Structure 1
Amino acid sequence: MTDSQPAIRLTGLTKEFGAVTAVDHVDLEIAAGEFFSMLGPSGSGKTTVLRLIAGFEQPTSGSIELFGEDVTKRAPFDRDVNTVFQDYALFPHMSVLDNVAYGLRVRGIGKKARTERARRALASVRLEQMADRKPSQLSGGQRQRVALARATVVEPKVLLLDEPLGALDLKLREQMQVELKQIQRDLGITFIFVTHDQEEALTLSDRVAVFNDGRIEQLGTPAELYERPGSRFVAGFVGTSNLFDDARSQALLGRGGEHSVRPEKLVVTAEPETGDGVRSAPGTVVEVIYLGSGIRTVVDLDAGLRVTVVAQNDRRALAAGDRGDRVHVSWHDADVVALASAPPSSEADAAASVA
């Protein structure tokens, strides 16, 4: 973040499609040089906000500013932004170099200058040796990097990325997450990234906006969202949470209201743990799931709540219990997060469900 002027400022941004409100009065500022993610389930409004920033859709009301300039009514080609899509949209008959140089050619840049800039852009994504190949001769990860080079060669102030890693397999997606963050740091421009994958958002972002029903449910750093979710929806959608309603909170936590405890904050033991701020509850092991790096244990507490415990794969975790065993689940009061009162969300409940 290198500029005091926000790269993007959205004020009262609203988009209606007939009777459906896809974006509902969104106010948001995104800093210059920030890697910013918009996270949410399908239909939450995140992609519509991206399309509004790009100019592919016009808002019903509200405004969009790019570095202090109102671009709300400008056409997409008249905004200093560029977009990378999930399908990359490379021209199959062109070489990699010509694909990257295409935007410069459209802008009337001379052949020598655009070739030099295209080669520099390919070098920034470590693909200069692939310049003469066709897109069909590249791997999925290489095509993704070509799309990034083509989008950045025109030096946009903001780069918009619409789930660009969604078509990649797990291993390649994890590799590209690291590369994408490094490319953003090297270029120093603002990245706005849309995804429904919470792990991807947490891995890449400086800040994340969690969308739900066309609004921003919570805005913060990855650590803030995960450690201190502000609502039942965020607790369930960003990672997995054990959710305690008011009655269970009073019985098990000693306080009223809705609360959340992350699975890795719980411990399964044969005997209750003790200490200042430590609470324990008896229950029965329902399932033990081997995850490789960890062990997931599902326990039905006697108080009528099913909880999930995730522990690192070590001797203690392996010895924690088998199906049908009587155990105690313990936690520390400091790891209990109070949630804002809100109507339960079926999507959040589904995301939080572990059984």
Structure 2
Amino acid sequence: MTAAPAIRLTGLTKTFGETRAVDALDLDIAAGEFFSMLGPSGSGKTTVLRLIAGFETPTDGTIELFGEDVTARAAFDRPVNTVFQDYALFPHMTVLENIAYGLRVRGVGRAERLDRAQAALDSVRLGSFGSRKPAQLSGGQRQRVALARATVVQPKALLLDEPLGALDLKLREQMQVELKELQRELGITFIFVTHDQEEALTLSDRIAVFNDGRIAQLGTPAEIYERPTSPFVADFVGTSNLFDGEDAAAVLGRTGAFSLRPEKIRLRADEGVAAATAEVVRSVGTVAEEIYLGTSTRVLVDLDAGYRLVVLEQNAARFAARDRRGDRVTAEWSASDVIDLAAPVGAATAPTRKG
């Protein structure tokens, strides 16, 4: 017998006046899964999280948590807890008191709740910070306290609403690693809302990419990135060269809509490089711009075919400063790296080049 999903949303719909924020959504999330909802502002991802938490009431549809219909239940009567971007810590309480607060509300005795709060604090590597006030902590430390407070009550699922958004880049990257480690240690379902595609790719077992209240694509990080199924997903998740209409015909010799990731492209000096084949696509152009990014360099190439190509080159060797603007180059890539955005998932996507 197949176990019930941790979360099942069926026909879930939410409207605000004339706005349909969530549109007849069907979604299953497995127990113990790190699941991310990714999308731009207004795509519906945060509304879905609030519906699961019980902070919003659906206009239509049902919400099941661990096999039980909780659609009509209040937020406090659901086996989930939420971590917000602003931490929402009580400034007058110590760190340990903040963490123990949820247990206190649930009637847990003082000795037990302090022991459990200390264990939760230890789990986020802040065991010696229990007597401090939130104002005495850094942003990353306050975020860890918020995580400890949310997990100490042992929810079956943890909902995270862009919890790393207020942190600087280096701290956010550090917290991503710690968040994933914490989820593995706890073994509970994490549902993570973010607009940061790199964050979603880093953390998730699966990702739902939202657009206009619907899921544009659902899959593993590798599936979402390597095999986008629409121009929206290809463009929103990472950087893509998108071809359609005249561009597709001129550069690829095909009709339809296609995507090519910039790191799949190689540049060579235009010195009589061989013509394109069925396996390798080649196109000649002129370097328009180079942008140094540290670990890589983004190169913009104006192809003779009339398309501006984005190329990403890894700076594997010591970077040698030189200006290639104006240089004639040949861009080449494997035909199999061109994604047919109209093809069914799993279908062969290698294009055949005319001529």
* Fold agreement, TM-score > 0.5: yes
**TM-score, normalised via structure 2 length:** 0.92
Counterparts of 1:80 and 1:223 in 2: how far apart (Å)? 31
Distance 1:311 1:318, change over 3 A: farther
Q: Distance in 1 between matches of 2:319 and 2:305?
A: 23
How many pairs are equivalent? 339
Q: Unaligned regions of 5+ residues in structure 2, if any?
A: 344-355
Q: Distance in 2 between matches of 1:241 and 1:263?
A: 6
- 308-317 vs 200-209, which moves further: 308-317
| Equivalent residue in structure 1 for 2:299, among 297, 300, 324 | 297
| Alignment correspondent of 1:164 | 163
User: Structure 2 counterpart of 1:72, which letter?
Assistant: T
Q: CA separation in 2, counterparts of 1:176 and 1:21? A: 34
Q: Is 1:144 paired with 2:143?
A: yes
Contact 1:270 1:320 in 2 (8 A): no
Q: Calculate the TM-score normalised by the size of structure 1.
A: 0.92
Given that 1:295 and 1:318 are in contact with CA atoms closer than 8 Å, whether structure 2 keeps it comes out as no
| Residue of structure 1 equivalent to 2:62 | 63
SS at match of 1:128: coil
Answer yes or no: is the 8 Å Cα contact 1:226–1:235 preserved in 2.
yes
Listed as ranges, the matches of 1:324-343 within 5 Å are 324-340=326-342
- CA deviation vs aligned residue, 1:51-83 (integer Å, no higher than 9, x gap): 000000000000000011000010000001000
| Matched residue, 1:350 | none
Residue of structure 1 in register with 2:353 after alignment: none
Query: Does the Cα contact within 8 Å between 1:321 and 1:327 map onto a contact in 2?
Result: no
Distance 2:80 2:119 in 1: 19
More displaced stretch, 318-327 vs 287-296: 318-327
Maintained 8 Å contact 1:232/1:340: no
2:103 corresponds in structure 1 to 104
- Partner of 1:52, secondary structure, is helix
Unaligned runs of 5+ in 1: 342-355
Deviation (angstroms), 1:128: 1.1
Q: Hey, what's the Cα distance between the residues in 2 that align with 1:228 and 1:187? A: 31
- Cα distance between partner residues in 1 of 2:316 and 2:60: 55
Distance 1:273 1:30 in 2: 49
Moved more, 74-83 or 290-299: 290-299
Cα distance in 1 between the residues matched to 2:321 and 2:103: 62
Identity of aligned residues (%): 71
Match of 2:289 in 1: 287
Matches for 1:30-45 after TM superposition, within 5 Å: 30-45=29-44
Whole-angstrom CA distance in 1 between matches of 2:76 and 2:100: 17
Counterpart residue number, 1:20: 19
CA distance in 1, matches of 2:317, 2:115: 57
Take 2:3 and 2:18, find their aligned partners in 1: how far apart are those partners?
38
Written as runs of structure 1 = structure 2, the 5 A alignment for 1:190-229 is 190-229=189-228
Distance 1:328 1:16 in 2: 51
